[in-house]
Structure 1
Amino acid sequence: MTTNWEAFATAEPGLARTVEERFAAHTHHVLATLRKDGSPRTSGLEVRFLGGELWLGMMPGSLKALDLRRDPRFALQANPGEGTTMGGGDVRVAGRAIEVEDAGARAAYAEEVEPPEPFHLFRTELTEVVRTSVEDETYLVVQVWKPGAPVRTLRRT
């Protein structure tokens, strides 16, 4: 089961806001894709939240774009920032990236983001959102959301 960003944000607005803030805190994040042989590839990436979607834009012919064309599964981790305090928590999003060919959608994205032309554009379908944080300097707190289910919160000492 998958869903778009807007459906997730409607279902879990607090967690969605936290995730967006973590991605907004830094420009570059880490995208994991699958190579032809099935091994993982990690790449730097900028992301955008626009019009109820989480968008991934990429340079033409980039290996990460070719990976996603072949196998749309991805994992995206927000840049954790400096140090080891995990200020705001560590957030990850997983799902499927669907390449957008629609000229209108691409034009709307380009008007807002102004990417260098040409570019690959993918919208995401989410399968999981995870936030890991430290509470009271004692507990490791993991919040896990999957489509069709409420957030599950786990605490460990």
Structure 2
Amino acid sequence: MTSSTWADFRTAEPDFAETVQNRFQRYKHHVLATVRKDGSPRVTGLEVDFRFGELWLGMMPGSRKAQDLLRDPRFAIHANPGPDDSMEGGDVKISGRAVEVTDSEVLDRFVAEAGPPQPFHLFRVEVGHVVQTSVDGEELVVRAWLPGGPVRTYRRR
């Protein structure tokens, strides 16, 4: 799977990246899917952080989701749909690879600004696919982006 940094995605598709980021920032908690040791999926709650032009995933040390990502960095994050059924802003998902950050300067900068409980694991997201699904009148509208290409829009009745 080809991947891109969040900064690269924002440069390539600034309007779509802003839409996706705003959708994630609307609520604190989202759903993360990882791959268990036996290859089956694991779904857990997670907070995401957009900072320094990148998308970050932070988690407690030794957590199952951290162990999953350290072993197999593939993931998918589904934005919280919210407390009602309006789905304002659509349904947003990001998939890709989570790269563990071990650089002490990056970690120190993140801690100084975000103030996470310590110790913690920090992962930088490499974006592989971004999808927004919404409804426009009677049409289902799917906007999708893959690294190296434009946003594609598909409409279905």
The two structures have a TM-score, normalised by structure 1, of 0.97
Report the Cα offset of residue 82 of structure 1. Answer: 1.7
Q: Distance in 1 between matches of 2:39 and 2:84?
A: 32
The equivalent residue for 2:153 is 153
Unpaired runs of 5+ residues, structure 2, are: none
Match of 1:96 in 2: 97
Equivalent position amino acid for 1:68 in 2: L
Gap runs ≥5 in structure 1: none
Residues 2-151 of structure 1: pairs in structure 2 closer than 5 A: 2-135=3-136, 137-151=137-151
* Alpha-carbon distance between aligned partners in 2 of 1:36 and 1:4, rounded to the nearest angstrom: 26
**What secondary structure does 2:147 align onto?**
coil
AA in 2 matched with 1:30: V
For the residues of structure 2 that align with 1:5 and 1:94, how far apart are their CA atoms?
Answer: 12
Aligned length: 156
Secondary structure of the structure 2 residue equivalent to 1:149 = coil
Take 1:3 and 1:52, find their aligned partners in 2: how far apart are those partners?
13
Aligned residues: percent identity? 59
Output the CA distance in 2 between the equivalents of 1:12 and 1:130: 13
Find the residue that maps to 1:68 and give its secondary structure. Answer: helix
Q: How far apart are 1:149 and its partner, in Å?
A: 0.6
The alignment yields a C-alpha RMSD, in angstroms, of 0.7
Distance 2:142 2:113 in 1: 33
Amino acid at match of 2:76: A
Whether the 8 Å contact between 1:4 and 1:52 is mirrored in structure 2 is: no
How high is the TM-score relative to the length of structure 2? 0.97
Aligned-pair CA distance for 1:83: 2.1
- Tell whether the 8 Å contact from 1:55 to 1:124 is kept in structure 2 after alignment: yes
